Amino acid sequence: MAKDVARRFMLENADTRGEWVHLDDTWQAMLQRADYPPTIRKVLGEALAASVLLSATIKHKGSLILQIRGDGPVHLLVVQATPEGHVRGLAKWHTEPESDTLDAIFGRANIVITLEAENANERYQGIIALEGDTLSTALEQYFLQSEQLPTRLWLHSDTQTSAGVLLQRLPSSTQSDEDWERVGILLDTLTAEELVEVAAETLLLRLFHEEAPRVFAARHLAFQCSCSLEKIENTIKGLGETEAHAIIAEQGKIEVDCQFCNSRYVLDHVDVAALFAGAQANSGNPTVH
């Protein structure tokens, strides 16, 4: 069984494209960073699989960030998938949810999907209310409302694996509605056990043999954070020199922990002085690039 891979596929006889994903070590790496209650762990794993599946459907090359923000026990869930196959994610909670319904976990909440272009200057953001019994139905609604693209998702996560399958009707589809409904019904016959244990080609052929599935090369996925000292320094520059020195005077240093990967960045008076000296030298001499 291939680990930490995504496979694109086409159902040639039904004008439908799809994506299959299996996250293993990647998902384990995320679980090591916080002690999630089971209800939160389950939905975080589903969201992680969804982020990879959804990122495969976007046209431009860039990152996809899926966030759920609400007033329930979990106030923030965020997962990100980049075109290089790097994923990260976390959930923040006040109390343990009383059950595993979306309502009990997130309360009144929104799904926010952000597409970031490679240079991070261009962004597209879509927001809809989180509605439905499961994350997959909520995301299906998102695609229908925001993108007018009929989409089906099958998501599963447990302590070892986060996995899923996406089906999307091609925008140019000339096939009948019955074809689209039929592939959805076939997808509903999938079991969690099959999704976890059966290899992509075998599984897709088993589910959709009459639709002639064509499965493309594997894309490898890895847990990797995009945080860096440079990004932290830019944030500190944004605070201003006086404020930065004031924090160090009070706390001895500026300490920033990345919540995604637990990396710790520490800056003292000398670092901050050097940081702002550099910033001033650049701004005072606009001919230097």
Nearest-10 crossing angle of helices 229-239, 269-284: 80
Record the tokens describing residue 42, joined without a space.
């389950």
Record the tokens describing residue 94, joined without a space.
């006040």
Quote the least distance from Cβ 138 to Zn ion, whole Å.
27
- The stretch among 24-32, 60-68, 202-210, 258-266 that binds Zn ion (CB under 5 A) is 258-266
247 binds Zn ion, rule: CB under 5 A: no
* One of 198, 261, 275, 279 touching Zn ion (CB under 5 A): 261
- Nearer Cβ to Zn ion, position 86 or 245? 86
- Nearer Cβ to Zn ion, position 11 or 30? 30
* One of 40, 52, 258, 267 touching Zn ion (CB under 5 A): 258
Record the tokens describing residue 131, joined without a space.
């509605």
- Nearer Cβ to Zn ion, position 17 or 88? 88
- CA-wise closest residue to 40 among 93, 112, 103: 93
- The stretch among 16-24, 35-43, 96-104, 256-264 that binds Zn ion (CB under 5 A) is 256-264
* One of 31, 104, 227, 239 touching Zn ion (CB under 5 A): 227
Residue 264, class by beta-carbon neighbours within 10 Å (0-12 exposed, 13-18 middle, 19+ buried)? exposed
* One of 9, 143, 260, 265 touching Zn ion (CB under 5 A): 260
225 binds Zn ion, rule: CB under 5 A: yes
Quote the least distance from Cβ 126 to Zn ion, whole Å.
25
Number of residues that bind Zn ion (CB under 5 A): 6
- The stretch among 24-32, 168-176, 205-213, 221-229 that binds Zn ion (CB under 5 A) is 221-229
Quote the least distance from Cβ 258 to Zn ion, whole Å.
3
Q: How far apart are the C-alpha atoms of 40 and 51, rounded to whole Å?
A: 16
205 binds Zn ion, rule: CB under 5 A: no
Residues near Zn ion (CB under 5 A) are: 225, 227, 258, 260-261, 263
